[in-house]
Chain A
């Protein structure tokens, strides 16, 4: 009997034999992550557990990326508490200020996460590293505190939903459109408690950044993880970023999958998730006449260099419409520098964009792009819940960088081809 990719990766970190879905297994973790919102609670729980030191000072990452650079005194105090804890524990990867980036773009870049790892993070989008073939999942702060103290955690072995993508991607179609299409098909609870496993010829030809964009939104279908095979793409990425990698791995064809989906991408149009759930997905041409007031390009979903290049390709020689705030946030300092050196910032500035520091701020209505009552945004972020980006009476539409950029220019949601 074949095995799913989730079972294969977990088995590498578990002493008992993994037999199938439903089993509760204790696994060693490769890295434990928390941020400026979730680390303060994790530290509180860690101390209440009577823990005195972290299991491995090199395998805990504390990334101050949500309300930073700190937006107010309370958020500054939270970061101060985390900084002091990191110092006390001798945590190697405490990251703040000019070194800081959006955690899920930063950690792969630093080689701290990669193929074959088990990663737990106090952030729901920890599933991003599934793009590199890591079993990576979000948990709450107290689960993370326990993992920081013991170096292990428990998992209920998930059933798997397998998604095979076939066909060649047409122009303007991106990884974001594929994951929006999947969420539109199966719904926001379609993979509840389950693993999503992505395969197929389209995936084989897909770069690591695109894979991370897809894995990032597995949680928006309720998924525990979104997994891509450990193949040449994943192993080359690992090598280039100083991660040790592991043996190649993929889900077996004869594994028991709870459900299988086949999506032919060759005729797919760019997708948009309409308010107020990521499953309200339509092809961009069917969204209707939607006027926007803000466009945000960035986040752990779409703030990587390939995303900024796609946005710049659309924005080159064009301007954001009057009345539209265009906000561009490169996700890490390295991406920021690369965008600057490639001349993308000139394109963005000429288009009238605000270029911000790497931060999660606007995605969760934290800071740097909050919506007022009646305002509407298109964003390359991952959630469009009611009030997510500000006022309860605002609206967020989710799209790819190309569609967000085109919509900024048009002042309404449009296909890049229509400019």
Chain B
């Protein structure tokens, strides 16, 4: 998958309360969660985002609670890819399960500035910064996770297993 969009940069240790505060957790609707995405970091953040834009984060993105509402809110906000220094463990699993692609680029995340135009190839792990002309290469998605993504997320993946009685 190739995704082109504007980088929305956030810092290190952005937690799930920042991505979607607890008061919005009275629904599971992606549109409604998307409308309140990043409300815990910056009220009104969603107004700056266009579908296809790319989140760029520091270390440990998505730390905190197990709430799957966090990747759902990002997807609801139109984000398909997050490029970060590193991700929190539960958020990492949740994102792939939901069909949100994550790329871990370590310190190279610092080379991307807020507002840069990016082109991300999720299959090869290449992030091109069209604004500064730099290109970042990282480990592509591990095969096991790619298999889940290819099936469309964990729901269709398990559905297939259940139907085969595996």
Binding site for B on A (CB under 8 A): 24, 37-38, 40-41, 44-45, 48-51, 67, 72, 74-75, 78, 121-124, 126, 138-143, 145-146, 149-150, 154, 188-189, 192-193, 219, 222, 224, 277, 364-366, 383, 385-388, 392
Contact A138 B90 (CB under 8 A): yes
Known: A142-B94, A387-B18. A364 touches B162 (CB 8 A): no
Tell me whether A222 and B158 are in contact (CB under 8 A): no
A-B contacts, 18 of them at CB < 8 A, read: A37-B22, A37-B25, A75-B26, A138-B65, A140-B93, A140-B97, A142-B97, A142-B153, A143-B93, A146-B154, A149-B158, A150-B161, A192-B60, A365-B17, A365-B21, A366-B22, A385-B40, A387-B40
Known: A67-B26, A122-B66. 8 other contacts (CB 8 A): A41-B28, A75-B26, A78-B26, A140-B67, A141-B68, A149-B158, A189-B13, A222-B63
Contacts from B to A (Cβ < 8 Å): 13, 15, 17-18, 21-23, 25-28, 40-41, 43, 59-60, 63-69, 71-72, 86, 88-90, 93-94, 97-98, 144, 153-155, 158-159, 161-163
Give every chain A residue within 8 A of B26 (Cβ-Cβ). 67, 72, 74-75, 78
* Closest residue on chain A to residue B87 by CB atoms: A192
Q: A45-B155, A142-B94, A142-B153 are in contact. Are A224 and B67 (CB under 8 A)?
A: no
A385 contacts B68, C-beta separation under 8 Å: no
Bound: A392/B63 CA distance, A: 18
Q: Tell me the complex Cα distance, A51–B88, Å.
A: 29
Q: In the complex, what distance in Å separates the CA atom of A387 from the CA atom of B162? A: 41
Is the pair B155, A192 in contact by a Cβ cutoff of 8 Å? no
Do B90 and A139 have beta carbons less than 8 Å apart?
Answer: yes
Q: Cβ of B15 and Cβ of A124 under 8 Å apart? A: no
Q: Residue B155 contacts which of A37, A72, A142, A385 (CB distance < 8 angstroms)?
A: A142
Complex alpha-carbon distance, A67 and B67, angstroms: 14
**What is the CB-to-nearest-CB distance from A210 to chain B, in angstroms, rounded to a whole number?**
24
Contacts of B71 in A (CB 8 A): 140
Residues of A within 8 A of B153 (CB): 142
Is the Cβ of B25 less than 8 Å from the Cβ of A150?
A: no
Q: In the complex, what residues of A have CB within 8 A of residue B27's CB?
A: 74
Docked complex Cα distance between A67 and B23 (Å) = 10
Bound together, the chains give a CA A322 to CA B67 distance in angstroms of 37
* Residue numbers in A under 8 Å from B15 (CB-CB): 383, 385
Contact of A364 among B17, B93, B163 (CB under 8 A): B17
> What residues on B are CB-neighbors of A139 within 8 Å?
66, 90, 93-94
Known A189-B60, A385-B15; contact A48-B155, beta-carbon cutoff 8 A = yes
Chain B nearest CB from A331 CB (Å) reads 18
Distance between Cα atoms of A9 and B17 in the complex (Å): 32
- A74 and B63 alpha carbons, distance in the complex (Å): 26
Residues on B with beta carbons closer than 8 Å to the beta carbon of A24: 144
Instruction: Report chain B residues within 8 Å CB of A364.
Output: 17, 22, 65
